Structure 1
Amino acid sequence: MAETGLRARALRYLAQREHSRAELARKLADHGSAPEIDALLDRLSELELLSDARFATAWVRGKAARFGTARLRHDLARRGVSDTLIEAALQSEAVESELERAHRVWRTKFAQPPADAREWARQARFLQGRGFAAEVIRKLLKEIPDESAQG
């Protein structure tokens, strides 16, 4: 009886969105024993209802437009996805360059290029918090005035 309840709960979670194995195990931890959960997760993986690769790809696809590579990598690692699967998902789903994504994120938040050092630092902190690399931020904030001058 407890196993069917555990399975139903796992399927409900998976019906809402993709989950990593570690994430689903954590959510089910209070509802069953470790061996029961492991057996259930193995079975869900066999049936291809649970896939860390599919989860990583979906995560990157959904978040890449708003976050940098460092943030995506960190979030996936925190959810228990292996480094190999993270790199594969980043390669397959991050179609635009990091600079293009950073520019789009910057443009939605800020209307004007930084006027002084304080504003430059504020914009840089925002982009850094979104997971963009320091060299991308420097390049973006350096190029913005040139771009606006060209029209």
Structure 2
Amino acid sequence: MNTGAKPALSLIGRALRLLSTREHSRAELERKLEPYEEEPGALAKVLDALQAKGFINEARVLESVVHRRASKLGASRIKQELQAKGLEPEAVAEAVQALRATELERAREIWRKKFDRQPADAAERGKQMRFLASRGFGGDTIHKVVSGADEE
């Protein structure tokens, strides 16, 4: 008798479903799949197999996050996201260093899309600065963008 319920997915099935939507780090998959592990060690075996086949790739995860988020966020916010994914600290540091090189240009572009004019008063200036800070840009960068300093 069919009750209409879907059959329970295996750990590998769940992992592949998650990986089909976007890149996931091994730490992310462990966190998400841990509740479904029925026997100790089964999850580690599944993740080892997926990593051996190239389905889990830390470099691709890092590249994916940077590519998707760099046009919207500052280096410090992206760094937080990469660290939350459990990626290697050295790889995260390299990616953040590369992002810092383009920080000012990216902040200007985001600011232009949202405001596109210098603040008229202190309240508007504060609003613009808080917006950029919430996106993860540093204080020096925010000051240069909002004040229009060294505009190309």
Instruction: Report the TM-score, using the length of structure 1 for normalisation.
Output: 0.85
Select the residue among 79, 93, 100 that pairs with 2:85.
Answer: 79
Task: Determine if the alignment matches structure 1 residue 135 to structure 2 residue 132.
Answer: no
Separation in 1, partners of 2:95, 2:48: 22
Kept in 1: contact 2:75–2:100 (CA 8 A):
no
Structure 2: which 5+ residue stretches go unaligned? 1-8
- Which of 43, 50, 62 aligns to 1:56? It is 62
CA distance in 2, matches of 1:89, 1:98: 12
Partner Cα separation in structure 1 for residue 93 and residue 13 of structure 2? 32
1:46 corresponding residue in structure 2: 52
Identify which of 124, 127, 130 aligns with 2:129. 124
- Equivalent position SS for 2:43: helix
User: Is 1:111 aligned with 2:116?
Assistant: yes
Is the contact made by 1:53 and 1:89 (CA closer than 8 Å) also made in structure 2? no
- Higher helix share goes to which structure? 1
> Percent identity at matched positions?
38
Count, aligned residues: 143
| 8 Å CA contact retained: 1:102, 1:136 | yes
Q: Which runs of 4+ in 1 moved over 6 A?
A: none
Higher mean Cα deviation, 126-135 or 16-25? 16-25
TM-score by length of 2: 0.85
